Amino acid sequence: MKKTIITTAVLTTLMLSAIGNIAKADSIDANAFGKCKQEGTVASYCKDPSKFHKKWAKEVLHGGQSNKDRYLENIAVWTGKSINTVSIKPKLLNFEGVNEKDSMKSYKGKGEMGIVIGAPEFAYNGKEFWTVTTDFSGCKNLDYYSDCKQSKGSSRIENRAKGNSVSDGKEKWIHYAIKPVNNVLFPGNNSRRFTIGQCHPGDNGNHMGLTWMLRIRGGQLYFATYFKHQDFNYQKEDGGWGIRNKWIGQDVSWKMTHDKLKDFRPDIKEGMNGVGADGEWTSILIRQINSTDPSKGKFEVYLDGDWTNPVYEYAGATTIKQKKSCYFKFGLYTNGNMTAVDMATTENMTVHMDAMAVANSKEEVLALVAKKDK
């Protein structure tokens, strides 16, 4: 694991950039969504507030700059490199062991997802690393689904496995390193959610909850599980079995489905833009045994190279008969964008990733990660 000390010059640039964004946001009613709530106000964007944000972000915040140039400029600022020496090779995230494709037409090949070349000191291992940037102004309105209107304003840059990743009774191990870089740490706002990985059931057209999600929320890292059924068996600390009732017929707190793994930066306050490429990497290892049988199902999560002592473990049914299989999705899926205090922070939402692999055993997945380091 590598950590780089950011220079005074780069830090100054980041601060000036943040101040500039705030000034631009204040120069126009960026949070115009509130107008829709005023009595007698009639505006076309009230039916879909993201339409106003798209126009404002393009014309005011980004000043007409192309996405390709903006993503490269961001990387240059965060790494302290010249745009002539650092580059982004557009490419779908490549998890060894998974055959992937674009998710919901989110990938455009402009540098929103790709390999960063020319800044090896910032990589988790090897000489390169991956970047993923999501903008609320890029949210998708598709014929069958609208991210823009979903969950108080959603947007994503994701890929997904072409087939089922984990079927009933199967075991998988997932490893990747992640780094929050910009506009993803907001300790004062639990409504803003940043999902960086999940196993999504097919559901046959009937969404019944996600199998698991790895998510940044309120500036903390969570392992979230969604089992939308009444009687959920789980193993208690004393070794016996208990029943956990979730979702059906209940109005439950989100904390009942989210187990905290780590605080990223307790010193980061609401509204700050982020920590830049100098932030620390978090390496994550997930064990998943997908099973409707409470005596066989299992989740384990390990962090930061300690592959012996899980920071989270669960034994019990990990799925239900209506959704026995699930497929992996990786990238950056954001929710609650319209709850932002400063709408400028719903742009350039960025995480970096590295050392990505999926295998059938711990030994196999760690061998894949070690091989990529050479």
Distance from chain centroid for Cα 204: 25
**Domains in the chain: boundaries:** 8-372
Q: In the chain, what is the greatest distance between 2 CA atoms, to the nearest angstrom?
A: 64
Res 316: pLDDT:
83
Nearest to 361 by CA among 212, 193, 170: 170
DSSP symbol at 343: G
Whether the CB-CB separation of 156 and 349 falls below 8 Å is answered with: no
For 246-307, strand residue ranges (E) read 258-263, 282-289, 298-303
List per-residue pLDDT tens for the chain, 374 residues long: 444 333 434 433 433 343 344 334 333 344 455 555 454 555 555 667 788 788 889 988 999 999 999 999 999 999 999 999 999 999 999 999 999 999 989 999 999 999 999 999 999 999 999 999 999 999 988 777 789 988 889 999 999 999 878 998 999 999 999 999 999 999 878 999 999 999 998 755 556 678 899 999 999 999 998 764 434 454 455 555 444 444 433 445 677 788 899 998 877 765 455 678 888 999 999 999 999 888 999 999 999 999 999 999 988 888 877 778 899 999 999 999 988 888 899 999 999 999 999 999 999 999 999 986 55
Nearest to 233 by CA among 294, 288, 292: 294
For the chain, strand residue ranges (E) read 87-90, 100-102, 113-117, 129-134, 155-161, 171-182, 193-201, 212-217, 220-224, 231-235, 241-245, 258-263, 282-289, 298-303, 312-315, 326-335, 349-359
Res 273: pLDDT:
53
Res 331: pLDDT:
97
Q: pTM of the prediction?
A: 0.84
Per-residue pLDDT tens over the stretch 347-365: 999 999 999 999 999 999 9
Per-residue pLDDT tens over the stretch 227-284: 644 344 544 555 554 444 444 334 456 777 888 999 988 777 654 556 788 889 999 9
Helix then strand then coil, in percent of the chain rounded to 5, is: 25, 30, 45
Res 339: pLDDT:
86
Question: What CATH class is the domain 8-372?
Answer: mainly beta
* Residue tagged 């014309």 (tokens): 59
Task: Determine the angle formed by the axes of helices 67-79 and 8-26, rounding to 10 degrees.
Answer: 140
DSSP symbol at 92: -
* Residue tagged 């097919």 (tokens): 202
Res 41: pLDDT:
52
Q: What percent of the chain has pLDDT over 70?
A: 76
